[in-house]
Amino acid sequence: MSENLNMFLMAQKQIKDACDKLKCKPAVYEILKQPARVLEVSFPVKMDDGSIKIFTGYRSQHNDALGPAKGGLRFSPTLTLDETKALSMWMTFKGAIVGLPYGGGKGGVACNPRELSLREKEEVTRAYIRAIAPLIGPQMDIPAPDVATNAQVMGWVMDEYSKLQGFNNFGVVTGKPVIIGGSQGRTQATAMGCCLVIRAAARKLGIEFKGARIAVQGFGNAGSNLTTILHDMGAKIIAVTDIKGGLYHPDGLNPYTLVKENDLLKQKTDAGIIDYPGAKVISNEELFAMECDILIPAAIENQITGQNAGNVKAKILAEAANGPTTPEGNEIIKTKNIFVLPDVLASAGGVTVSYFEWVQNLQSYYWTKEEVYQRLEQKMIAAFENVYNISQKYSVDMRSAAYMVGIKQLADAMESRGWLS
Query: Which residues carry out catalysis?
Result: 106
What's the one-letter identity of residue 399?
Answer: R
Is residue 295 classed as helix, strand or coil in its secondary structure?
Answer: strand
Residue 393 CB neighbours (<10 A) = 10
Closest CA relative to residue 118, chosen from 75, 165, 158: 75
List C-alpha distances in Å: 177 to 123, 154, 181, 419: 19, 8, 7, 39
Q: Helices in 133-213 by DSSP H: which ranges?
A: 151-165, 189-205
Sign of CA dihedral 131, 137, 143, 149: positive
Sign of CA dihedral 75, 321, 134, 161: negative
Residue 19 CB neighbours (<10 A) = 21
Q: Are 142 and 358 in contact (CB under 8 A)?
A: yes
Is residue 271 classed as helix, strand or coil in its secondary structure?
Answer: coil
Beta-bridge partners for 318: 341
Q: Are 104 and 89 in contact (CB under 8 A)?
A: yes
Q: Give the length of the chain.
A: 421
Using only C-alpha atoms, the chain has a radius of gyration, in whole angstroms, of 21
What's the one-letter identity of residue 13?
Answer: K
The strand order across the sheet containing 213-217 reads 280-282, 245-248, 236-242, 213-217, 294-297, 316-318, 339-341
Q: Are 79 and 88 in contact (CB under 8 A)?
A: no
**d(Cα 229, Cα 226) in Å, to the nearest integer?**
5
**d(Cα 47, Cα 274) in Å, to the nearest integer?**
37
**d(Cα 230, Cα 220) in Å, to the nearest integer?**
15
**d(Cα 352, Cα 350) in Å, to the nearest integer?**
5
Residue 411 CB neighbours (<10 A) = 23
Residue 199's φ and ψ, nearest 5 degrees, are -65, -40
